[in-house]
Amino acid sequence: MERLQKVIANAGVTSRRKAEELILKGLVKVNGKVVKELGSKVSDKDRIEVDGNLLTKEAKVYYLLNKPRGVITSVSDEKNRKTVVDLIPCEERIYPIGRLDYDTTGVLLLTNDGEFANILMHPNDKVDKKYIAKVKGIVKGDTINALKNGVIIDGRKCEKAKVKLRKIDLKNNTSMVEIILHEGRNHQVKKMFESVGFEVLKLKRERVFIFDLKGLKSGEYRMLSKKEVAIVYSLQKK
């Protein structure tokens, strides 16, 4: 017997967190009856429906995408814009782990394994994310120190970050800054720079945990190895 939200996540429908939301909204049925209790347990013999769709098991798949600009980090889009799922042709119902803005590029992981996704999205000081931001203006030491120590965005102080000035372009009045975070708050990098008076012109995520863009051009993807998947799962034991 396993918890209902875990079974839904492991079936590749969505993440465990989203599965919990669906249960609370009354969109999940077990053997024809609506279940709203998060502690409910089910077995392999139970018939589970999620938002009217019968739950079926499918093979777990894991992808690393170099997300290009102008692509939505979503499974579908009301405006019929291209989504990250459109870039990876596969039979499984994959979804992105976390989000990257429409104009942000770089590392994005996609899977149908809710448990795997939950490990990487859950706050963990071992799962860091490295970004390269091109900002308008010349960034100096005091700004770097402020970002390192944690600025306040949306009324809450950010955790300390690793920040390094990569280069400045006096002619074009721009700076390239590397920033490594453990948090994953909405539009965090852009808001952090905005809080210290700088506009982000371009943003690229170069790494998430052990996953980087090596060998991948913009829009290209690859499947993760069994070893890489195992390394992510090993975080549960730490």
Per-residue pLDDT of 163-193, as tens digits, reads 999 999 999 999 999 999 998 888 999 999 9
For residue 238, is pLDDT > 80?
no
- What are the b/e assignments for 209-221, b being 16+ CB within 10 Å? bebbbeeeeeeeb
What pairs with residue 54 in β-bridges?
49
For the chain, percent of residues with pLDDT exceeding 90:
75
Residues 175, 166: Cα–Cα separation, whole Å:
8
Instruction: Please give the structure tokens belonging to residue 165.
Output: 């000035």
205 closest CA partner among 154, 139, 129: 129
pLDDT at residue 237 in the model: 67
What pairs with residue 32 in β-bridges?
none
Determine whether 101 is an active site residue: yes
Q: Three-state DSSP class for 109?
A: strand
Q: Is the fold of 62-123+211-237 the same as that of 129-208?
A: yes
Q: How confident is the model at residue 126 (pLDDT cuts 50, 70, 90)?
A: confident
Q: What is the mean pLDDT of the chain?
A: 93
For the chain, percent of residues with pLDDT exceeding 70:
98
Asked if 138 and 145 count as a contact pair (C-beta separation under 8 A), the reply is no
CATH number of 129-208: 3.30.70.1560
> Whole-model pTM?
0.80
Give the right CATH number for 62-123+211-237 from 2.40.50.430, 3.30.70.580, 3.30.390.50, 3.30.930.20: 3.30.70.580
The CATH class for the domain spanning 2-54 reads alpha beta
Domain boundaries, the chain: 2-54, 62-123+211-237, 129-208
**Mean pLDDT in residue range 51-66:** 90
**Mean pLDDT in residue range 56-80:** 91
pLDDT in tens, 4-51: 998 888 776 787 888 999 999 999 999 999 999 998 999 888 999 999
104 closest CA partner among 127, 71, 75: 71
Q: Three-state DSSP class for 237?
A: helix
Q: How confident is the model at residue 78 (pLDDT cuts 50, 70, 90)?
A: confident
Q: How confident is the model at residue 82 (pLDDT cuts 50, 70, 90)?
A: very high
For residue 124, is pLDDT > 80?
no
Q: How confident is the model at residue 93 (pLDDT cuts 50, 70, 90)?
A: confident
**Mean pLDDT in residue range 150-163:** 95
pLDDT at residue 201 in the model: 98
Catalytic residue among 46, 51, 77, 101: 101
